Structure 1
Amino acid sequence: MTLERPIAPDPYELLPTVGSFDLTSDDVRNGEPMDARHAHGSAGGENISPHLAWSDFPPGTQSFVVTCFDPDAPTGSGFWHWVLVDVPTSVTELPTGVKEADLGGAFSVRNDYGDTGYGGAAPPPGDRPHRYVFAVHAVDVERLDVGPGASPAYVGFNLAFHTLARAVIRPTFHVKE
């Protein structure tokens, strides 16, 4: 059953324009379906975060925030799958299935599953393919001044004032009915 609704806008098209830099992945590609291992267990996946690597971020970058958002979720507010905060500039690559303990003080806030860490793709069965917007934000402060109890929206609000540039990959995922 495909849910009939308009395509949601890309969330970053609604924010002030910032610079960009390079983001690559061994696991996901822009506009292409993700492998099921990056899907949530409820969608038959393994809930493993994809590899991400970035370069050529702007001078003045003091940390990174990594996010994954599904603007196509039938919620009216999208669905946050991952918000990883305070990634140090010494980290410019996340291996597949990254462990936060390996990231020098970085931490995840609660995703919309109610868990911390990466929560894989899980669109409603039979719905159209959903876009999963993986973004790395180059931030002008070492610490974003949010704690582990912050909501993804509050992190996003703070990012609006501290993002120097953003790199994005938008793979898709679909669960057949």
Structure 2
Amino acid sequence: MTAFTLSSPDIPSGGTVPQQFEFDGFGCSGQNRSPVLQWSGAPLEAKSFAVTVYDPDAPTGSGWWHWFVVDLPAGTTQLAAHAGAQGGQGLPAGARQIRNDYGVHAWGGVCPPPGDKPHRYVFTVHALSVPRLDIPDDATAALAGFMVNAHTLAKASFTATYGRP
């Protein structure tokens, strides 16, 4: 059996997130573009995928959801550069972006508070047992996370860090 893995040619696992993936706002001035993500070795019984990007170090008490994509078709093995643009045109047909903690249905780039230790950003792909999650388009990330976890067959992750002086 092949291991289920997630990687990015743009962001090294265990490395630093490049500045172009930083948010453009909240005092940050990046390009707010989502990176290329690629996965392989998913269970054959996967009926869809979800992709999340989460910062457990955000000073909120509950972390920070930067990106939450659900209903990616079963044959999907990657997301292209800037697939997280608002409107979802860069995503495969049928995929949906759940509102992130910036309040938009799109990629929200990294933007830790200045002077904080570098934050960890956890990129995860979930292989799901259902073709579509039964959640509304305006679901919160917490609700989407609950439903994703309830239907996860397997998941693959990598973590990278980012800090601001």
Q: Same fold (TM over 0.5)?
A: yes
Identify which of 33, 53, 59 aligns with 2:38: 53
CA distance in 1, matches of 2:58, 2:30: 18
Q: Residue 7 of structure 2 contacts residue 13 of structure 2 at CA under 8 Å; is this kept in 1? A: no
**Unpaired stretches in structure 1, ≥5 consecutive residues:** 1-19
Task: Give the counterpart letter for 2:144 in structure 1.
Answer: V
Give the CA deviation at 1:157. 0.7
Report how many residues are paired: 157
Task: Point out 4+ residue stretches in structure 1 off by more than 2 angstroms.
Answer: 99-102
1:171 aligned counterpart, secondary structure: strand
> Out of 48, 51, 68, which is 1:66 matched to?
51
Q: CA deviation at 1:90?
A: 2.1
Give the partner amino acid of 1:149.
D
- Which of 75, 81, 89 aligns to 1:90? It is 75
C-alpha displacement of 1:63:
0.2
- Structure 2 counterpart SS, 1:65: strand
Letter of the aligned partner of 2:80 in structure 1?
P
Identity percentage over the alignment? 45
Q: Report matched runs for 1:1-177 at 5 Å.
A: 21-42=4-25, 43-98=28-83, 100-101=88-89, 102-176=91-165
1:147 Cα offset (Å): 2.0
Structure 1 residues 85-120: Cα deviation after superposition (integer angstroms, max 9, x where no partner): 100012211111115234111011110000111000
Q: What corresponds to 1:16 in structure 2?
A: none
Q: What RMSD in Å do the two structures reach over aligned CA positions? A: 1.1
Deviations 1:40-91 (A, max 9, x none): 0132211000110001101210000000000000000000001101000122
CA distance in 1, matches of 2:4, 2:135: 24
Contact 1:109 1:147 (C-alpha < 8 Å) held by counterparts: no
- Aligned with 1:131: secondary structure? strand
